[in-house]
């Protein structure tokens, strides 16, 4: 896309293609929208279709950047995608960008906030942290199509490592981290994956934890989680994050019982074609 896109003469706002000199102001908006536990973003969010996606800037008087948005059309399904949108929680700016996206992407099904929004590469809009944008989406006919719960725990105090480690620990390279496995009589009974901490935020990620059905309610999950936290803390992590499907109350209760706090829900939004 190129050239002049749209303007609102009543509010002096206009939408145009993103330019590199927009970055300082755009980055301020992006960082204002980040979740607790995340390091300041070094640049604009990435997208899976970075080479084919269009990024636009919403500007006002004196060239002030009020919003930035990335959108495209998925070739295989013909679904319009709003990968990400940042306005520093300005309702009018968010509504203006969403109205433009609906017009530009045309009469097709739309999905919003489909690009990674967090350190775990989990897509979605943080619904509580960005409730103003969530309201703008609702006004524009979008509804949540699924959500992940984001949980966080401080590692200022963690269980001590037992003299005999419960789980075997294997170093992983892609992504960097560790796989922990508890075995009984040579058979795996529980596994977990911890991603190494982000050096800027000090946040590690509990990416996976599972106790095989026959060994549940025997304490293996508690032992494995304690060792995961110890491994993360020993590597320099100051906190550890986890994600859960919003409908998985069992894992959420388990994590909360071990010091995790639910911070937000990350939702992908959908708007069906008219």
Whether 121 and 188 share a structural domain: no
Q: Is 118 inside a domain boundary? A: yes
For 222-248, give the secondary structure using H, E and C: HHHHHHHHHHHHHCCCCEEEEEEECCC
Beta bridge partners of 14: 7, 59
What is the percent of the chain with per-residue pLDDT over 70, rounded to a whole number? 91
Q: Is 243 inside a domain boundary? A: no
Those residues with Cβ within 8 angstroms of residue 24's Cβ, 6 or more apart along the chain or in another chain: none
pLDDT of residue 2: 42
Answer for the pair 70, 45: CB distance below 8 angstroms, yes or no.
Answer: yes
Q: Is 150 inside a domain boundary? A: no
Specify the higher pLDDT residue, 97 or 161. 97
Whether 140 and 21 share a structural domain: yes
Q: Please count the residues of the chain.
A: 274
What is the percent of the chain with per-residue pLDDT over 90, rounded to a whole number? 64
Whether 20 and 47 share a structural domain: yes
Whether 54 and 122 share a structural domain: yes
Q: Is 134 inside a domain boundary? A: yes
Whether 100 and 15 share a structural domain: yes
Whether 41 and 162 share a structural domain: no
Helix pair 91-105, 131-139: axis angle to 10 deg:
40
Which domain range does residue 225 map to?
157-237
Whether 16 and 139 share a structural domain: yes
Q: Is 261 inside a domain boundary? A: no
Q: What angle do CA 250, 252, 257 make, to 5 degrees?
A: 100
Indicate if the pLDDT at residue 22 is higher than 50.
yes
Specify the higher pLDDT residue, 225 or 160. 225
Beta strands in the chain (DSSP E): 6-8, 13-17, 54-59, 65-73, 80-86, 110-112, 125-126, 143-154, 168-173, 176-184, 187-195, 203-211, 239-245, 261-271
Mean pLDDT, rounded, for 178-195: 92
For 167-194, give the secondary structure using H, E and C: CEEEEEECCEEEEEEEEECCEEEEEEEE
Indicate if the pLDDT at residue 6 is higher than 60.
no
CA distance 35 to 118: 7
CA distances from 133 to 19, 51, 58 (A): 23, 26, 15
The pairing of strands 80-86 and 110-112 is: parallel
From first CA to last CA, the distance across the chain in angstroms is 25
DSSP reduced 3-state for 24: helix
Q: What are phi and psi of 200, to 5 degrees?
A: -85, -40
pLDDT of residue 9: 44
Whether 45 and 103 share a structural domain: yes
Whether 116 and 169 share a structural domain: no
> Which CATH number do you get for residue 171?
3.40.630.30
**pLDDT digits 0-9 by tens, 63-78:** 999 999 999 988 778 8
Q: Is 251 inside a domain boundary? A: no
Whether 13 and 79 share a structural domain: yes
Answer for the pair 28, 88: CB distance below 8 angstroms, yes or no.
Answer: yes
Q: Is 256 inside a domain boundary? A: no
pLDDT of residue 274: 65
CA distance 90 to 64: 13
Q: What are phi and psi of 252, to 5 degrees?
A: -65, -45
Within 13 Å of residue 111, how many CA atoms lie on the same side as its CB?
A: 17
**pLDDT digits 0-9 by tens, 213-239:** 888 888 889 999 999 999 999 999 999
Specify the higher pLDDT residue, 191 or 200. 191
Whether 18 and 140 share a structural domain: yes
Whether 28 and 141 share a structural domain: yes
pTM for the model stands at 0.84
What total number of domains does the chain contain?
A: 2
Q: Is 248 inside a domain boundary? A: no
């Amino acid at each position: 896309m190129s050239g002049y896109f749209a303007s609102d003469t009543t509010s002096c706002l206009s939408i145009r293609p993103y330019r590199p000199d927009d970055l300082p102001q755009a980055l301020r908006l992006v960082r204002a929208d980040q979740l607790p536990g995340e390091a300041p973003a070094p640049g604009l969010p990435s997208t899976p279709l970075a080479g084919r996606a269009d990024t636009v800037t919403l500007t006002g008087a004196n060239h002030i950047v009020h919003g930035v948005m990335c959108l495209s059309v998925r070739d295989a399904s013909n679904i319009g995608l709003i990968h990400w949108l940042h306005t520093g929680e300005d309702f009018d700016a968010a509504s203006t960008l969403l109205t433009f996206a609906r017009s530009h992407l045309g009469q097709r099904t739309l999905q919003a906030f489909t690009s990674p929004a967090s350190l775990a590469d989990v897509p979605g809009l943080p619904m509580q942290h960005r409730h103003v944008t969530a309201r703008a989406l609702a006004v524009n006919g979008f509804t949540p199509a699924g959500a992940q719960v984001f949980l966080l725990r401080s590692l200022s105090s963690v269980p001590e490592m037992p003299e005999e480690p419960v789980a075997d620990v294997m170093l992983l390279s892609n992504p960097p981290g560790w796989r922990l496995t508890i075995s009984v009589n040579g058979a795996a009974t529980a596994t977990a994956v911890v991603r190494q901490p982000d050096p800027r935020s000090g946040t590690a990620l509990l990416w996976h934890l599972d106790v095989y059905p026959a060994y549940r309610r025997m304490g293996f999950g508690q032992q494995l989680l304690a060792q995961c936290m110890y491994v993360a803390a020993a590597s320099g992590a100051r906190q550890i994050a986890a994600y859960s499907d919003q409908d998985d109350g069992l894992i959420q209760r388990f994590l909360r019982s071990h010091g995790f706090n639910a911070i937000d829900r990350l939702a992908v939004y959908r708007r069906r074609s008219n």
